[in-house]
């Protein structure tokens, strides 16, 4: 993007791939925003919620695997998702924020299901 803008400012032609790369970097940035919401929630709740304190080994492994799959799916959507349909969640900041809050709720529900004695 910067190289294309510099080239245009000097009177040259824009680099054709710049728009697609700019859109992809926008999806990556909004994916970071999406993941920041649950991160901030669980960081703030860490002193009040001892989420893994009394869980079984199987529950901890299950949470790690399910959480990892969710993260991989969101990342794959941002990087390789089909144009138009699956990327609509990350197309605007407002839908990205909603998706972040929904992801937080899903992760919280996983904790409630896998670690019922903690809540």
Check residues 73 and 79 and name the one with the higher pLDDT. 73
Give the closest residue to 77 by CA, choosing from 108, 107, 34.
34
Spatial distance between the Cα atoms of 8 and 68, rounded to a whole number of angstroms = 42
pTM greater than 0.75: no
Confidence band for 36, pLDDT divided at 50, 70 and 90:
very high
Give the pLDDT confidence score for residue 119 in this predicted structure.
47
Give the pLDDT confidence score for residue 76 in this predicted structure.
80
Section 62-70 average pLDDT: 86
Section 89-93 average pLDDT: 77
């Amino acid at each position: 993007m910067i190289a294309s803008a510099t080239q245009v400012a000097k009177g040259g032609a824009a680099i054709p791939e710049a728009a697609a790369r700019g859109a992809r970097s926008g999806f990556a940035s909004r994916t970071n925003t999406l993941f920041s919401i649950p991160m901030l929630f669980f960081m703030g709740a860490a002193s009040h919620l001892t989420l893994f304190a009394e869980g079984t080994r199987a529950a901890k492994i299950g949470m790690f695997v399910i959480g990892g799959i969710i993260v991989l799916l969101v990342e794959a959507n941002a990087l390789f998702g089909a144009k138009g349909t699956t990327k609509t969640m990350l197309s605007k900041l407002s839908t990205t924020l909603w998706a972040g809050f929904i992801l937080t709720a899903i992760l919280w529900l996983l904790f409630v299901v896998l670690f019922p004695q903690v809540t």
